[in-house]
Amino acid sequence: MIRKEWLRFKVFFHRFGLGFVVTALIIISIILSLSLWYNVSNPGRVDSLQDKQDSAKTLVGNKPIQALYDTDKVILNTKDDQKLIVNYRGSTNEISEKVYAWPLYEARRKVYSEKDYLKKLKQPNYVMLAYPDVVTGDIVDRDFESKTGLTSKAHINRILIPLNAKGEILFADDKRHQIYESQIAADVKPIKVNWGNNKINVNLFGKISNFKC
């Protein structure tokens, strides 16, 4: 029975198999020809796709180094505590647009004990912009219109800005308990930002090596 069915299949294949194969090849050839014709007759589409790929590569390649080392936390120092601003991105942009244009004298380095360093970090009426990791001073300096005097030898973890726009901007180095203090050189407008209601109390007390805010 099986042998008979096999013989029938062989006969069927010899009669029609070649025709099926040829037909399939013709259909594939037609599809490829139509695809080639479409691409040739629509060069704009191909160019558009290529332009998008090139643009994406250009954006990545030309991304400013400041964008790679941007602050990722905003902490508001009040009289009684410190508050982490949850929706920090809008606040950061609003602050930086004003502060980066302030006239500043070159920063002077001061070294503190751990206790005094923490005390400086939590002094009231300041807003703190914290980096996700240590950033060299020359990168921070590029953000400011004034020359802060910060060099690649300086390591900065956070920037403290006086809300009343008086006194000094502080560039803090957590590891060495150093603060680079840059005096504001002229009268500028106080910082007024809508912080919103999304604020969380944070605590920067303890050993420097243990806190991440």
- Give per-residue pLDDT as tens, 80-136: 888 888 766 677 778 888 899 999 999 999 999 999 999 999 999 999 999 989 999
Structural domain total, the chain? 2
Residues 145 and 44 in one domain: no
Domain range for 53: 2-61
Residues 114 and 39 in one domain: no
Could you read off the pLDDT of 92-107 as tens digits, one per residue?
778 888 899 999 999 9
Sorting pLDDT into bands at 50, 70 and 90, what band is 138?
very high
> What is the model's pLDDT at position 25?
72
> What is the model's pLDDT at position 169?
97
Q: What is the mean pLDDT of residues 156-170?
A: 95
pTM of the model: 0.65
Residues 191 and 103 in one domain: yes
User: What letter would DSSP give residue 122?
Assistant: T
> What is the model's pLDDT at position 196?
72
Residues 124 and 57 in one domain: no
Contact between 171 and 144 (Cβ < 8 Å): no
Residue 13, beta-bridge partner list: none
Residues 85 and 38 in one domain: no
Which one has a higher pLDDT value, 123 or 207?
123
Distance CA 88, CA 99 (A): 16
Residue 185 reports pLDDT greater than 50: yes
Sorting pLDDT into bands at 50, 70 and 90, what band is 137?
very high
Residue 61 reports pLDDT greater than 50: no
Q: DSSP for 128-156, please give it.
A: EEEEEEEEEHHHHHHHSSS-----TT-EE
Residues 48 and 144 in one domain: no
Residues 106 and 180 in one domain: yes
Encoded tokens for 147: 């020359």
Distances (CA, A) of 152 to 65, 107, 120, 127, 164: 14, 14, 23, 24, 29
